[in-house]
Amino acid sequence: MRALSGPLDGGRCQAISRNRFWMYAAASGVLAFALVVWCRPYFLGQRSIDPVLLRVGPVQVRWYGFLIAMSFIPGFRVAAAEARRKGIDPERLYDFALLAGASGFAGARLAYVVQNLSAYLAEPLRIVAVWEGGLSMHGVIAGGLAATAVFARRIRTPFLTFADVVFPALPLGQAIGRWGNFFNQELFGYPTDVPWKMYVAPEFRPPQWADESFFHPTFLYESLWNLAVFGLILWYRRRPAAREGDVLFLYVAAYSAGRFWVEFFRIGVPAALGLTLAQLVSLGLVALCLLWLPFRSGRPLKNPPPATPARTRSG
């Protein structure tokens, strides 16, 4: 693997980053408008939703898998750009993507099984029946952290530095991937009559609300929140006061706060204190991230000012 000579010039890198940020912001705005126009008939129930994107004989390509796969492309580009700035060979990210994908998937499935342990203990073979669905985003984060720790050690890069390089891709991938839930008509919320309500076909409605037609599009709430978190991270990581590790903890705290909020609209079973298990985990993660604050002052700056050359005295 070829090695990079070192980080790019700070001023030039910040200018490139600002341009990239506004480019992503403009593209996101155009995409959001197009999605609103395109999705409106589906949200009103005027057009049926097909979860299958493409059929070729017996082979089916579902929207959910397609969107998850496609989300890796922009996420990889974001991580690769930051890797170059930090003097890390972007080609190493291909190996990391394979490890993180496997680790994240295993963590997502394991966390979901633990959340529904009684059901899976009754039918243990269903634990490996991943085609039935059942993944936990908190498990993805845990698996991603494990993969990041292993790979950072392999390439001899500080864990927090490498985590700050790769984790901004996660909220972008979440924002895209959540639309797979739309095509599957799953993870929607309680019945509602808000202007942005979402029509759910009768076969997907919970039995207790079989007579209701419109529900909260909680997938959309989480998608928009994750897109905002992605923008926040891109903006913050170039701030002069940003330190190594800040991006990781900012992502975990911001995502968890949004997940806590969205859970109030999503159909779920309270686990304790009137809150769902996902909300309790989210609160715990936010509290854990707050513990980072007393230690961050000892971490190096993410964007140290360029060294001023020493003056030479004449005469």
Mean pLDDT of 39-62: 86
Secondary structure (DSSP) of 167-204: TTHHHHHHHHHTHHHHHHT-S-BSB---TT-EE--GGG
More confident residue, 39 or 214: 214
CA–CA distance from 25 to each of 12, 32, 124, 228 (Å)?
A: 20, 10, 46, 10
**For the purposes of burial, counting CB atoms within 10 Å of the CB of 58, is it exposed (0-12), middle (13-18) or buried (19 or more)?**
exposed
Number of H helices, E strands in the chain: 13, 4
Alpha-carbon distance of 236 to 7, in angstroms, equals 19
pLDDT at 11: 55
Quick check: 134 and 108 in contact, CB under 8 A?
A: no
Give the pLDDT score at 315: 47
CA distances in angstroms from 89 to 61, 80, 81, 93, listed in the order given: 33, 8, 10, 8
Q: Could you give the CA distance from residue 260 to residue 256 in angstroms, rounded to a whole number?
A: 6
Task: Provide the percentage of residues in the chain whose pLDDT is more than 70.
Answer: 87
pLDDT band at 2 (very low <50, low <70, confident <90, very high): very low
Dist. CA 296–CA 244, nearest whole Å? 8
CA atoms of 304 and 301, how far apart (whole Å): 5
Q: According to the model, what pLDDT value does residue 250 have?
A: 95
Which pLDDT does position 13 carry in this prediction? 56
pLDDT exceeds cutoff 80 at 8: no
Q: Which residue has the higher pLDDT, 97 or 303?
A: 97
> Is a pLDDT exceeding 90 seen at residue 161?
yes
Contact 146, 103 (CB under 8 A): yes
pLDDT of res. 228: 92
Q: Are 175 and 148 in contact (CB under 8 A)?
A: no
Q: Give the DSSP per-residue string, 78-116.
A: HHHHHHHHTT--TTHHHHHHHHHHHHHHHHHHHHHHHHT
DSSP run (H or E) holding 70: helix 63-70
Does 109 have pLDDT greater than 70? yes
| Domain limits, the chain | 10-88+157-296
What are the tens digits of pLDDT across the range 177-228? Answer: 888 889 888 889 999 999 989 999 999 999 999 999 999 999 999 999 999 9
Residue 303 and residue 14 in contact, taking contact as beta carbons nearer than 8 Å: yes
Structure tokens at 85: 């700035």
| pLDDT per residue as tens digits for the range 16-33 | 556 666 776 677 667 767
pLDDT in tens, 290-311: 999 888 888 888 888 776 655 5
Q: Which amino acid is at 43?
A: F
> For 217-275, how does the pLDDT look when each residue is reduced to its tens digit (9 = 90+)?
999 999 999 999 998 999 999 898 989 999 999 999 999 999 999 999 998 888 888 89
Say if CB 134 and CB 112 are below 8 A apart.
Answer: yes
